[in-house]
Amino acid sequence: MKSGQLSRVYWGALIVVALAMLVNIYLALAWVQPDAKQGDVGRIFFFHVPGAWVGLLSFLLVSVASIGYLIRRTQSWDRVAVSAAELGVVFITITLITGPIWAKVAWGIWWTWDARLTSTLVLFLLFCGYLMLRRYIPEPSTRAKLSAVVGIVSAVDVPIVFFAIRWWRTQHPQPVIAGEEGSGLGERESIAFFYSFGVFTMLYLVLLLQRVHLARLDDEVEVLKRGRTANGPRAAHAAWLLPFALALGLGVGATPAVAQEPAPNNGSPTESQDVAQLREQLETELRRAKTEADSLEVDRAQLDEKNSRAIRHMMIAYATVWGLIILYLISVSRRQSKLRREIDELSGGR
């Protein structure tokens, strides 16, 4: 395999997943009908929930790999642990970004400190700390042992995140899948959801295999450099920075004032009182009808603005998902190329 390039197997699997994702986008954005209560913004569900699932799965894998390392003391378990931790942070970041975008339209707020949201944020911070810890411990065996302990302890939060909406009353709705009586999805929604579930899992496995390969190259570079570099913190080679919050939203325009009618002409003094009263009643009805028509126009404009805002939030959420995944793929590819160059240089200089 040439330096700086991914293997054919990886590229082939990535192309298959990319094609499957295109089908996933079609199912979520076009095939499934808008949610009856939330409208188009509810389509975020088909990416928000699978992304959260993959993130929690990844953090569970960190704990399993960490236990494996403490038992077997083999470097391959440590590589799986750090790879899963990094991918977990990526996918939970996607969850923490798309969630508030969805919540702003559905709940009217960006964030609330309920059990599900708070425990997810804590989980994210715990594994950010896990990755930072690995950067600042130079000795490989010490780094692997301490990281394994932190990974196991941090993963305790995973079941808390999953069961939060079952154990406590939260802002989140009750479980849609395997929830209470009356919960569940329609036929099309179920097909699109489980398809997205499977595609996100496939994407995760492909990224995990490539990240483990990157960890192997990193270990090889470290072995070649050992004894040639001064002791101190490891330089962080991950250049990706994942954003947290997006400031969005537009205020609905003020209701236009009803135009004032000119004072009615009471007619000539010779008109009878009945005719004058009838004219006044007609003018009153006309003014009322005009007011109602103006109110309907305002309501229609507000509804159009709400729908436009929902679609805008949905598209921003989808762009965020794919933007972060693409940036991560680029980051892994560049880091891999850099490590291969370092291996060639160090091996040639021996």
Reported confidence tier of residue 288, pLDDT bands at 50, 70, 90: confident
User: Do residues 120 and 95 make contact, with C-beta atoms less than 8 angstroms apart?
Assistant: yes
User: Do residues 50 and 177 make contact, with C-beta atoms less than 8 angstroms apart?
Assistant: no
What's the pLDDT at 119? 92
What's the pLDDT at 235? 41
Average pLDDT score, the chain: 78
Give yes or no for residue 141 having a pLDDT over 50: yes
User: Do residues 116 and 62 make contact, with C-beta atoms less than 8 angstroms apart?
Assistant: no
Percent of the chain with pLDDT over 90: 28
Cα dist from 88 to 80, 163, 164, 291, whole Å:
12, 18, 19, 56
For 303-317, what is the mean pLDDT? 66
Lowest mean pLDDT of 232-241, 288-297, 311-320, 335-344, name the range: 232-241
What's the pLDDT at 31? 87
What's the pLDDT at 64? 96
- Full DSSP string of 174-187: PPSSS-STT----H
* pTM of the predicted structure, to 2 decimals: 0.74
Question: For residue 1, with 0-12 CB atoms within 10 Å meaning exposed, 13-18 middle and 19 or more buried, which class applies?
Answer: exposed
Amino acid occupying residue 153: V
What's the pLDDT at 133? 92
DSSP 40: G
Rounded CA-CA distance 127/118 in Å is: 15
Decide which of 290 and 145 is more confident.
Answer: 145
Residues contacting residue 108 through CB under 8 Å, at least 6 positions apart: none
Give yes or no for residue 178 having a pLDDT over 70: no
User: How many other C-beta atoms lie within 10 A of the C-beta of residue 263?
Assistant: 6
**Ramachandran bin of 232, using left for φ above 0, alpha for ψ from -120 to 50, beta for the remaining angles:** left
